[in-house]
A and B are shown apart, each in its own frame.
Chain A
């Protein structure tokens, strides 16, 4: 069985006139780096809320179908039971921070599951260091910038060392270099510790190179999914209006003009530059 299996899921928020998720079937294997993208309002955030049971337990509403995460049926088990398997980083960090100090916010989840003091200290410090906020750990999460709040939210999820981390546009308030550093941290956790990552992002320029499973959503459905190189090169993706990375676009434009750069669709500037040098006999 896959780590996450969703079968024919349809979900409607209370009071909404139509479903936000419509007949979605999806499998995510352990250790994948999944990237979910699609037009704003297409159901990406709602799908994230299904992974840890916030939908339907917190949001209520009407749900049909099945969601199984780490062998647990999330429709029948509560969010707190999912917490050690799935960590969710929200789009708006203010919705998830509440403690008097950053450090306490990061320790909150561990306290709740009864982690021993020394072990907690170690895990909290590790998460603070990974996200570059160790030096400000004693400040209040409400006095810091939006970008720093996003790091706190990520740290508090990392500290729990979950099997799966779900991140909903986790770096939207961060400057590009800080965002890249966070993505590198997440990528390293994925590669070295085998944590399954599910990332929601519009900015594929920054993130396409990390993923091995791209999911493209549109109007509450999964339009296509699979190898990011195939999907970003497809006509359907262009039509939905996904922000294809510039390196990928440039590759397509050159190919159209008869500049043969090989069959591999590049996902980053490094890959495209290499392919150009190769094709021009400069390597």
Chain B
């Protein structure tokens, strides 16, 4: 469980990046944090593993204030995947990269071997086991960064732009994996601009603007509110765009799911006798 209470944060340059944020994220929740560039999304989630400590207010992870524990201690429970994988990767092979944290946490060699094999397979990286991460494509490096965190199975996962450089198949795998984590009561917080990905997952959406939370609710409601999205520099998902343009037909506007869209349109066709 993540509890943020009136969190303010100012960078040493005195720029106030967070201006009083209070939210609670329960175990097993999947939350997408969205908002325009510079809204404070990355700054906010860096508080969840203690990389940043609030200037005012508190952040508690499973009941413990982040100011009362070290980043190293928090890291065991909160895994963080950075936006830019090059800020995170440093090993000579993909295998070493993924096993690094596992060794640090003192896992048995056999467990490390199994976990590395599992993570490589999950993220379609098995063929690159002995390859240098720096020879891989941008999308593949992002997946190595993700694999190295998933491997130690943290209770809470913070993903900063997890879908960058990922093709449709990899995104679908990520979506399914996140759903699976939810059934294990693990918490996933993703900072993302990828509206289509969010529309497919339909998680809780927290919308940030200028260091504050401006909306917090189910994806379907927030992603179909044009005024709210425009204020946050977000474009409507394509299905929602279509339904807003079809409002003259008396169709609901809060549609983001393809199958629901299909059913509604077929029904309308029948109603109009076409």
A interface residues with partner B (beta carbon < 8 Å): 13, 15-16, 38-41, 44-45, 91-92, 94, 145-148, 169, 172-180, 202-203, 205-206, 241-247, 249-250, 253-254, 257, 259, 268-270, 272-273, 276-277, 279-282
Contacts and interface: CB of A to CB of B under 8 A. Distances in A.
A243 B174 CA distance: 14
A253 B234 CA distance: 26
Given A148-B37, A276-B246, A253 B138 contact: no
Contact of A269 (B143, B161, B233, B242): B242
Contact of A272 (B143, B237, B242, B248): B242
B237 A246 contact: yes
Contact of B84 (A146, A254, A282): A146
A175 B161 CA distance: 11
Contacts of B20: none
A202 B166 contact: yes
B86 A94 contact: yes
Given A38-B167, A173-B161, A178 B242 contact: no
Contacts of B165: 40, 91, 169, 172, 202
A273 B196 CA distance: 18
A142 B143 CA distance: 25
Contact of B137 (A45, A177, A282): A45
B133 to A, nearest CB: 13
Contacts of A175: 35-37, 193, 232-234
- DSSP class of B's interface residues: helix, strand, loop or mixed? helix
Interface residues of B, number: 50
The 7 closest A-B pairs by CB, nearest first: A40-B139, A273-B245, A269-B241, A243-B168, A147-B37, A246-B238, A241-B169
Contact of A254 (B143, B237, B266): B266
Given A146-B83, A176-B193, A92 B138 contact: yes
Contacts of A202: 139, 165-168
Contact of B261 (A38, A176, A250): A250
B136 interface: yes
B259 to A, nearest CB: 8
Contact of B262 (A148, A242, A244, A253): A253
Contact of B168 (A91, A92, A242, A276): A242
Given A176-B235, A203-B194, 14 more contacts: A13-B135, A15-B135, A40-B138, A41-B139, A176-B195, A176-B233, A176-B234, A178-B233, A241-B169, A243-B196, A246-B196, A254-B265, A259-B269, A280-B249
Interface centre among A13, A41, A257 (most CB of B within 10 A): A41
Interface in B164-198: 164-171, 193-196
Contacts of A38: 167
B230 interface: yes
A254 B274 CA distance: 13
A16 B135 contact: yes
Contacts of B29: none
A259 B193 contact: no
B222 to A, nearest CB: 14
Contact of A273 (B237, B242, B269, B274): B242
A270 B241 CA distance: 8
A83 B239 CA distance: 41
Interface centre among A16, A206, A243 (most CB of B within 10 A): A243
Given A41-B136, A259-B266, A281-B274, A247 B242 contact: yes
B256 to A, nearest CB: 9
B69 interface: no
Contact of B238 (A94, A245, A277): A245
